[in-house]
């Protein structure tokens, strides 16, 4: 698992700099994230890629969104205006339909399948430890370390320390996956989080 993760870091870090167009990056990296778990012979049911549980996954996504998105948006607006002194002007800079499709199929689906389905699944097989539990979500060692790897994978894109901030939403993605061993909720929440951020930043 570590070998395939290091290759993923290499792909993201190097291809981002050497490819003449980022369009190729959007093809190669998601394809790698989707292919490698299958190449290793992982059981798809263990990854959580099971649409039979889509109702519970959708329910968990809706509940998590209602609890997290409104206060986050309010806090973001306050931080922009009163801390940074920047005018708050939310909106989308790109076509909304294109944004939704790209965030779901090029970002959330492959990343959640690789990190939550594959990496977190492998780490769960080791002696896992529950740090604490909130609303039925068990925050385990596997979720913690997967989130660290997830943050590092974003950092190597441009070596911007701010990218480590994805560690925190990654904890929620991992928690949502563990509730029902299902990827529906984390995929929906991941994509929606990215779309919300792009709207907030205008």
What secondary structure does DSSP assign to the chain, as a single string? -HHHHHHHHHHHHHHHHH-S-HHHHHHHHHHHHHHHHHHTT--HHHHT--GGGHHHHHHHHHHHHHHHHHHHHHHHHHIIIIIS--------SS-HHHHHHHIIIIIIHHHHIIIIIIIHHHHHHS---EEEEETTEEEEHHHHHHHHHHHHHHHTTTT-GGGGGGHHHHHHHHHHHHHHT-SHHHHHHHHHHHHHHHHHH-
How confident is the prediction for the chain on average, in pLDDT?
Answer: 83
Taking residues 170-193, report their average pLDDT: 93
Is 60 exceeded by the pLDDT of residue 162?
yes
Task: Of 7-21, 148-162, 185-199, give the lowest mean pLDDT range.
Answer: 7-21
Greater confidence (65 vs 46) lies with: 65
Q: Each residue of 20-37: pLDDT tens digit? A: 555 556 667 777 777 777
């Amino acid at each position: 698992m570590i070998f395939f993760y290091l290759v993923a870091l290499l792909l993201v870090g190097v291809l981002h700099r050497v490819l003449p167009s980022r369009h190729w990056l959007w093809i190669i990296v998601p394809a790698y994230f989707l292919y490698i778990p299958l190449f290793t012979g992982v059981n798809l049911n263990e990854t959580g890629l099971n649409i039979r549980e889509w109702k519970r996954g959708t329910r968990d996504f809706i509940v998590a969104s209602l609890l997290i998105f409104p206060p986050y948006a309010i806090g973001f607006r306050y931080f922009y205006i009163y801390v940074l002194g920047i005018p708050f002007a939310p909106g989308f800079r790109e076509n909304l339909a294109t944004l939704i499709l790209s965030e779901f199929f090029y970002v959330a689906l492959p990343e959640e399948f690789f990190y939550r389905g594959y990496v977190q699944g492998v780490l769960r097989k080791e002696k896992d430890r529950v740090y604490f539990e909130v609303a039925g979500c068990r925050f385990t060692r596997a979720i913690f370390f997967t989130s660290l790897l997830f943050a590092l994978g974003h950092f190597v894109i441009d070596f911007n320390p701010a990218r480590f901030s994805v560690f925190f939403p990654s904890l929620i993605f991992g928690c949502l996956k563990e509730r029902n061993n299902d990827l529906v909720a984390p995929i929906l929440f991941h994509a929606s989080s990215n779309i919300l951020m792009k709207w907030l930043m205008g």
